[in-house]
Amino acid sequence: MTITITAFERSPDGGRGLARDTRVRWALEEAGQPYEVRLVSFGAMKERAHLALHPFGQIPTYEEGDLALFETGAIVFHIAQRHAGLLPDDANARARAITWMFAAVNTVEPPILELVTAKILEADKPWHEERLPLVEDRIRDRLKQLSTRLGDADWLDGAFSAGDLMMVSVLLRLKSSGILDEYPKLAAYLARGEARPAYQRAFAAQLAVNTARAS
Ligand SMILES: N[C@@H](CCC(=O)N[C@@H](CS)C(=O)NCC(=O)O)C(=O)O
């Protein structure tokens, strides 16, 4: 059955791989599943046809036969459940990998998104300079804890899993901030994720869309 995902017609990041279709592409690449991409403009995302797929008018979405999904956590989980390579067979290890998926989107991603909001949407506010360090410190709290748990391991719980895929995807947004460099174990973890051939293919695919649009 054909899998179709949606992605930005033109990503605001210009192809740095930060738009969330990249994590879905990555999961599909890890699972060895071919997929098609329907590009949507910001306008089209808010129109009825797309809202039927995604109630919040965002990307990515995932369609496979009668099934339509939104939310990258749910999409990656669905892919990981249906195909080998992203979740361990052992029931307890599988539950722990799923826990890391939730931790990525529910505990680590929120303060990182706050930083994006602070930098992009609040830069002109009189309290911006005062607020920024507070937001950054909240991220540091999480990174310190995450780094301690990771320790010297390659991945969060044994072999690479969908939990790592989501966590690396979330941390990628910090790359340009310099904050990650304060946590060398996490910087190395991120680099390991980025070095995976499946990630490389996913990144190249989204970059091709964005550079084709730009030229
Ligand atoms: N929690 C959602 C977030 C989706 C999301 O924020 N998508 C962004 C692109 S990465 C988007 O479509 N932004 C445009 C908008 O909100 O209008 C998920 O993980 O899928």
Q: What is the pLDDT of residues 93-151, one digit of tens each?
A: 999 999 999 999 999 999 999 999 998 899 899 999 999 999 999 999 999 999 999 99
Q: Verify that 51 and 148 share a domain, yes or no.
A: no
- Which one of 13, 21, 50, 58 would you pick to mutate in the ligand 1 pocket, going by the greatest count of ligand atoms within 8 A of its CB? 58
Ligand 1 residue neighbourhood (C-beta within 6 Å): 19-20, 45, 57-59, 71-72
CATH number at residue 127: 1.20.1050.10
What is the domain extent for residue 131? 91-196
The CATH number given to whatever domain includes residue 203 is: 3.40.30.10
How much of the chain exceeds pLDDT 70, in percent? 99
Question: How many whole angstroms separate alpha carbon 146 and alpha carbon 87?
Answer: 20
The pLDDT score that the predictor gives to residue 212 is: 87
Same domain, 188 and 97: yes
Position 138 scores a pLDDT of: 97
Flag whether pLDDT at 213 surpasses 80.
no
* CB-based contact 215:19 (threshold 8 Å): no
Residue partners of 28: CB distance under 8 A and separation at least 6: 3, 5, 34, 35, 79, 202
Nearest alpha-carbon partner for 116 in 136, 101, 141: 136
Q: What is the pLDDT of residues 150-181, one digit of tens each?
A: 999 999 999 999 999 999 999 999 999 999 99
Q: Are residues 98 and 142 in the same domain?
A: yes
Q: Are residues 43 and 7 in the same domain?
A: yes
Residues 50, 142, single domain; the answer is no
**Do 104 and 176 have their domain in common?**
yes
Q: Give the pLDDT mean for 190-213.
A: 95
- Do residues 127 and 113 both lie within one domain? yes
pLDDT of the residue at 214 = 59
Q: Are residues 190 and 109 in the same domain?
A: yes
Q: How far is the CA of 32 from the centre of ligand 1 (A)?
A: 25
CA 189 to chain centre: 15
pLDDT at residue 6 in the model:
98
Q: Looking at the structure, tell me whether residues 111 and 143 fall in a common domain.
A: yes
Distance CA 69, CA 78 (A): 9
What's the total number of domains in the chain? 2
150 and 210 in a single domain? The answer is: no
pLDDT band at 21 (very low <50, low <70, confident <90, very high): very high
**Do residue 153 and residue 80 come from a single domain?**
no
127 and 147, same structural domain? yes
Count of CB atoms within 10 A of residue 203's CB? 19
90 CA from centroid of ligand 1 (Å):
32
